[in-house]
Amino acid sequence: MRTISLVRQLGEVLVAVGIAPLFAGWIAQCRAWLQNRTAPPLLQPYHMLHKLFQKDAALATDASSLFRSTPYVLFGTMVLAAAIIPSIATDLPFARAADAIALIGVFATARVFLSLAAMDIGTAFGSMGARREMMVGFLAEPALLMVLFNAFLLFGSTALPSLVDGYAMKRSVVDPSVLFAAVAFLMVMLAENGRIPIDNPATHLELTMIHEAMLLEYSARHLALVEWASSLKLFNYACIGFALFLPWGIATHGSDGGVSMLIAVAALAAKLVVAGAGLALIESLSAKLRLFRAPEYLAIAFLLAVLGLLVHLLLGTSANA
Amino acid sequence: MSRAHQWIAAAMTPDHALRVLLILILFWVVLGAGGLLRPRTLRLVAHILFPLGAVACAGVAALAGIFLTSGHAPETMILPPGLPDLPFHLRLDPLSAFFLLLLGAAGAGISIFSAGYFRVGEGSAPALHCLQYHVFLASMAVVILANDAYLFMVAWETMALSSYFLVTSQHRIPEIRRAGFLYLLMAHVGALCILLSFGVLQGGSWQFTFDAMRGASLTPFWATTAFALALLGFGAKAGLVPLHVWLPEAHPAAPSPVSAMMSGLMLKTAIYGMLRASFDLLHVQFWQWGAAMLVLGLFSALFGAIFAAVQTDMKRLLAYSSIENVGLIFTGIGLSVLFAASHMPLFAALALTAALLHALNHALFKSLLFLATGSVLHATQQRSLGKLGGLIRRMPWVAALALVGTLAIAGLPPLNGFVSEWLLLQSFLFTPQLPHAFVNMLVPLGASVLALTVALAAYVMVKFYGIIFLGQPREANLSHAHDANKLERLGLGWLAGGCILIGVLPQLALRIAAPVTGQLLGTTVAPALSFWRIAPIAPEQASYSGLVFLAGIAGVFAVTFVLVRLIAHGRTRRTAPWDCGYPWQTARMQDTAEGFGQPIRHMFGGFFRMERDLPAADDPAPRYRIHIEDRFWRAIYQPIAHGVQRTADAVSILQGGRLSVYLLYSFLTLLVLLVFVL
């Protein structure tokens, strides 16, 4: 039993690490289709990683050890998050090591490390990117917390496995607050992962970039790890979203056996395909906002989540009365 | 050998804990006085007295820890000195033991750092520093142990005065004198409020022991008055907005170990006083008290974080960050009162645990950061962020240890700051269950203010660390900066170790806080302690494991490192950084502290009063200047100061300087009195 769940845990992490670049590649492909461009091959991110791992790393003359160790820290935090998030099964040994709020902390750790590393060389773009990244971070966090507050009100827990199990218990519950929370979460997810309304992952136009500005000094194996970590971050966010709002298919507590795992993997794949296409659609339909519109964008996300909260509380009181 | 063993065993038996603590406190005073034997030589003070003081600190922490974990009954003691009818009462209970532990644990690190820090020719003579420093420590310990209002006030005033002299040790600089005066003034306004609060608390019995106050029954009006006075008094000491104005002036003025003591330890005595007054003496009666503290706390936290983000002086930045952290602690206390007065003791215990833990954490990481700024100050003679940079290469030790403090204060797992902030957010989750309409909808929004503050704190700390330690040196003389000496490293390392320990094994800290919540609220969180994680209410509800976090990140780090070495070749080429095709860049073109403040000024403009000088485009000698001021200063303090001045002017008409007129006043007074008497 114990070994089975350990094996399951290891399998889940390997799946996450393995298919995260594929997810990024799928989004890029959908985007290209929607924009009438010839799509890059689906496996392009893997070729990219392979190429980067083969190259000589070019390091700035006085890069400190903080700069050199940050890619490994980033990768470590993202793998840890992947181990905690119940993307395939809820009965995982690591899943109880942190609840969703602590997960935000994991992402914050990664963000701070990357920002510090970006400031290490002392180029103008690095520090500017770091500052902008931290700004988006502190604007996004209240909204994300309110989303989790909504989830807590529904199921009395912020632990993702309990939430998924809770959904499985009362499948019929459709609370209107969930809808608000889901939209808010989607907006935060786009902002946190440097997607289009806030940042453009495909740009290298200096004045607008956030995430890419921080990576300018990274090359070869370091860059590969950072890129892999950021695709893993997007994958992790998607899986948090699935656990919060679309938990169908995840192997719940007590459902042992290979069949439920197979269903879970198939469900995850289906959800990722749909989610990737959806993300590409959103990115193709919207334009990048000016940086100082970012507070407004995230304020809308926050207000939506608060609305969800109030809707739940008001409906709850009227139902009780 | 066996005799020493017996002595230690006797000291460790909890029955004698209070006595041994008093001996250690007396030892501090003796150490302080000892320096006066050779007032001008540094060697005695630095090599003997401060390290001994650090050992005594560690002893205090150990004793308090043993007392907390052994679960013994409170100890009391009456000492003969004092007023004729009011001898000194002392009491050691879980609440005071917790704060003594905090004092000792952080104090040990600061003392050992101080041994390496103080130099000849900086401000007062070393022996004087040593005396004031140890009296300051001892008075804080007595404040925590006092069990009657008289001893409490005596120790409180000793604390204020000794710290005043420490702040003004470089009294030849006018700004420092001014900062010291402001500090003294606010300390006394606060002390006055506390004194009045005790006056109300005795409830007509005219007994000023805390035991009598616990038993006094007050009407709701007087209880609330006593609470409000205590909130004003302790809030002024803790730096709660709008009573915070002294803090960003006094902290930067003091020598760094003193700033660390004031921010890390002295603010916590105010927290202690607030807990003692509201929970122990007043028994938490109305939820409105909690709401008031919650609002003040949240506002202070946000205010502190926003102001910290726009500072350009590293110690002022940390001072504002102290306001933020005190705000977070008060938020926790306020929530706890809110829950406790609504008869939800378990959630009250959760919020109180968060507040206590955050107090302990703040003592550790804020001391660490203030001490690190001290090392930077000694190495570079610079406090302004605009003239620092790149010190990670010159001062690797300080940079590494300060990084621990930076990550901890930014609230990142697996360090300690995250644990208390996580617990605080957890306790916010239960606020919709409060039995008051509208309150249960408004308070949850407080959680988002809290999240914003915590995330802003991360922004501030990235600025702090990035500008000081990372990037290129902004001035030429920074290339001569030297790393901290061994004693300083030891002090920093002690505090950093504490941050890591509590972060990775938060269950230890919960275990220490449990007796306190047991004493004040009658219940504790997470009674069943797990060795690898904390789950304050129930594991299904939420849990966190610092151990797994650290092991997970470190494990993946190691595995990835090895794998990357196997797959990819490890060749590295050192080149110049990419210059964007503009090769004439200098270190002065890096992002600045002002640059980091810019988005904050843009977004939270309403908080500041800004004055800007933007030169014209054709100005031959352009000077950019931006001056940011606290609105409270003009809104509250200047009118009061003007009012006092005007009243004084009005009264000064009486003071003509002629003796005959003064005699006339006496005569008139006598006449008036006679009219009343007859």
pLDDT at B332 over 90: yes
Q: Is the Cβ pair A98, B554 closer than 8 Å?
A: no
**Band (A321; pLDDT cuts 50, 70, 90):** very low
Please, which pLDDT band fits residue A171 given cuts at 50, 70 and 90?
Answer: low
Q: Is the dihedral of CA B42, B46, B47, B50 positive or negative?
A: positive
Report the chain A residue with the minimal C-alpha distance to residue B578.
A217
What is the C-alpha to C-alpha distance for residues B220 and B241, in angstroms, rounded to an integer?
A: 26
Look at A71-75, A242-246, B7-11, B114-118 and tell me which has the smallest mean pLDDT.
Answer: B7-11
Name the band, by pLDDT with cuts 50, 70 and 90, for residue B206: confident
Inform me whether the pLDDT recorded for B5 exceeds 60: no
Q: Name chain B contacts of A115, Cβ cutoff 8 Å.
A: 462, 466
CA distance B503 to B421: 11
Out of B390, B560, B603, name the one closest to residue A122 (CB). Answer: B390
- Quote the tokens at residue B199: 């006056």
Higher pLDDT, B10 or B358: B358
Which of A112, A222, A298 best tests the B interface by mutation, with the highest count of B CBs <10 A? Answer: A112
Identify the three-state secondary structure at position B441: helix
Q: Which of B413, B454, B557 sits opposite A106 (nearest CB)?
A: B413
What pLDDT is attached to residue A159? 86
Highest mean pLDDT among B317-331, B426-440, B586-600, B644-658: B317-331
In the chain, the amino acid numbered B541 is Q
Nearest by CB: A145 against B447, B540, B589: B447
Mean of pLDDT values over A34-61: 89
Q: Dump pLDDT digits (tens) for A249-268.
A: 887 766 666 788 888 888 89
Q: CB-based contact (8 Å) between B452 and chain A?
A: yes
User: What amino acid is encoded at B87 in this protein?
Assistant: P
Distance of CA B583 to the CA centre of its chain: 46
Q: Do A97 and B471 touch (CB under 8 A)?
A: no
How many domains are contained in chain A?
1
Q: What is the mean pLDDT of chain A?
A: 86
Full 3-state SS string of B318-356: HHHHHHHHHHHHHHHHHHHHHHHHCCCHHHHHHHHHHHH
Nearest Cα residue to B593 out of B495, B449, B464, B504:
B464
The answer to whether the beta carbons of residues B25 and B72 sit under 8 Å apart is no
Give the phi and the psi of residue B131 in degrees, each rounded to 5: -65, -50
Mean pLDDT, range B33-44, rounded to an integer: 82
User: How far does A255 lie from chain B, in Å, by closest CA?
Assistant: 18
Question: Which positions 567-626 of B are in contact with A (Cβ < 8 Å)?
Answer: 567-580, 585, 587, 589-591, 595-596, 599, 602-603
Q: What does the pLDDT look like over B539-566, one tens digit per residue?
A: 778 888 888 889 889 999 999 999 888 8
Residues 6 or more apart whose Cβ sits within 8 Å of residue A292: B599, B602
The nearest CA of chain A is from the CA of B72 a distance in Å of 33
pLDDT at B4: 53
- Burial string for B321-353 (b: 16+ CB within 10 Å, else e) reads bbbbbbbbbbbbbbbbbbbbbbebbebbbbbbb
Q: Do B542 and A101 touch (CB under 8 A)?
A: yes
CB-based contact B448 A152, cutoff 8 Å: no
Spatial distance between the Cα atoms of B191 and B170, rounded to a whole number of angstroms: 25
A116 with B472: Cβ contact below 8 A: no
DSSP letters for B220-245: HHHHHHHHHHHHHHHHHHHT-TTS-T
Under an 8 A CB cutoff, do A97 and B571 touch? Answer: no
> What's the domain range around A270?
2-320
- By C-alpha distance, which of B466, B482, B506, B374 is closest to B109? B374
A94 closest CB neighbour out of B548, B557, B587: B548
Under a CB-based contact definition with an 8 Å cutoff, are residues B184 and B160 in contact? yes
CB contact under 8 A, B412 and A109: yes
Q: Please indicate whether, in this complex, the C-beta atoms of A76 and B554 are within 8 angstroms of each other.
A: yes
Radius of gyration (Cα) for chain B, nearest Å? 26
Tokens representing residue A233 in the block: 């971050």
| pLDDT value, residue B29 | 93
Which one-letter DSSP state was computed for residue B590?
S
**Angstrom distance (rounded) from CA A13 to CA B656:** 87
A28, A39 contact by CB (below 8 A): yes
Structure tokens at B325: 């952290």
Q: Does the pLDDT at position B638 exceed 60?
A: yes
Using CB atoms, pick whichever of B451, B471, B553 lies closest to residue A73: B553
Q: What are the pLDDT digits (tens) for A21-44?
A: 999 999 999 999 998 988 889 899
Listed residue (A237, A233, A211) closest to A135, CA to CA: A211
Mean pLDDT of B213-223: 88
Report how many Cβ contacts below 8 Å link chain A to chain B.
248
pLDDT digits (tens, 9 = 90+) for B581-619: 888 888 888 888 888 888 888 888 888 888 888 888 888
- Domain locations along chain B: 11-216+237-280, 284-521, 604-614+623-677
Q: Looking at chain A, which residue has its C-alpha nearest residue B549?
A: A80
Which strand (E) or helix (H) includes residue B87?
A: strand B86-92
Closest-CA distance, B474 to chain A, in angstroms, reads 10
Read off the pLDDT of residues A68-101 as tens digits, 9 standing for 90 and up: 999 999 999 999 999 999 888 887 878 888 888 9
Q: pLDDT grade, residue B1 (50/70/90)?
A: very low
Contact between residue B377 and residue B391 where contact means Cβ atoms under 8 Å apart: no
User: Taking all residues of chain B, what is their mean pLDDT, rounded to a whole number?
Assistant: 88
Which of B507, B549, B561, B563 is the best residue to mutate to test the A interface, defined by the most A CB atoms within 10 Å of its own CB? B549
Residue pair B335/B290 in contact (Cβ under 8 Å)? The answer is yes
Is B590 within 8 Å of A141 when comparing Cβ atoms?
A: no
pLDDT reading at B109 higher than 60: yes
Q: Is B10 on the interface with A (CB under 8 A)?
A: no
Q: pLDDT at residue B230 above 90?
A: yes
DSSP for B197-214?
HHHHHTTTS---BHHHHH
With contacts defined as CB-CB under 8 Å, which chain A residues touch B570? Answer: 221
Q: Does the N-terminal peptide bond of residue B414 adopt cis geometry, omega within 30 degrees of 0?
A: yes
Minimal Cα distance from B567: which residue of A?
A53
**What does the pLDDT read at residue A174?**
67
Residue in A62, A134, A310 closest to B393 by CB: A62
ipTM over 0.90: yes
Gap between the Cα atoms of A79 and B372, Å rounded: 33
- Chain A nearest-CA distance from B529, in A, is 14
Q: Does B440 touch chain A (CB under 8 A)?
A: yes
Lowest pLDDT segment from A170-184, B197-211, B238-252, B427-441: A170-184
* Top-ranked range on mean pLDDT: pick from B215-219, B450-454, B657-661: B450-454
Indicate yes or no: CB of B429 within 8 angstroms of CB of A62. Answer: no
Band (pLDDT 50/70/90 cuts) for residue A170 is low
**Residue B469: closest CA among chain A residues belongs to which residue?**
A120
pLDDT, position B605: 84
What confidence score (pLDDT) does residue B355 get? 95
What's the first-to-final CA gap in chain B, in angstroms? 79
Residue of B nearest to A143 (CA): B448
Residue of A nearest to B558 (CA): A72
A129 neighbors A266 (Cβ within 8 angstroms): no
Say what percent of chain B tops pLDDT 70: 97
- Please list every residue in chain A whose beta carbon sits closer than 8 Å to the beta carbon of residue B561: 72
List, in sequence order, the alpha helices (H) in A55-207: 65-84, 100-120, 124-155, 160-169, 176-192
pLDDT by residue (tens digit) across B143-192? 999 998 999 999 999 999 999 999 998 888 898 999 999 999 999 999 99
* pLDDT tens sequence across B387-401: 888 889 889 999 999
Instruction: Indicate whether A320 pLDDT > 50.
Output: no
| pLDDT in the model for residue B3 | 55
Chain A residue with CA closest to B457: the answer is A138
The answer to whether B468 and B313 are in contact (CB under 8 A) is no
d(CA A126, CA A214): 5
Q: What is the rounded CA–CA span in Å between residue A126 and residue B657?
A: 68
Instruction: Tell me the three state secondary structure of residue B609.
Output: strand
Which band of pLDDT confidence, cut at 50, 70 and 90, is reported for residue A225?
A: very high
In the three-class reduction of DSSP (H, G, I as helix; E, B as strand; rest coil), residue A58 is classed as strand
Q: Is the peptide bond before B536 cis (omega within 30 degrees of 0)?
A: no
Cβ–Cβ gap A56/B573 under 8 Å = yes
Query: In angstroms, rounded to a whole number, what is the distance separating the alpha carbons of residues A167 and A145?
Result: 20
What is the reported pLDDT for B261?
93
B58-62, B212-216, B673-677 — most confident range: B58-62
Q: Evaluate the CA torsion angle B256, B260, B263, B269 in order and state its sign.
A: negative
Please give the pLDDT value at position B46.
84
Pairing of strands B86-92, B75-83: antiparallel
On the question of pLDDT at B529 being above 80, the answer is no
Mean pLDDT across A126-130: 88
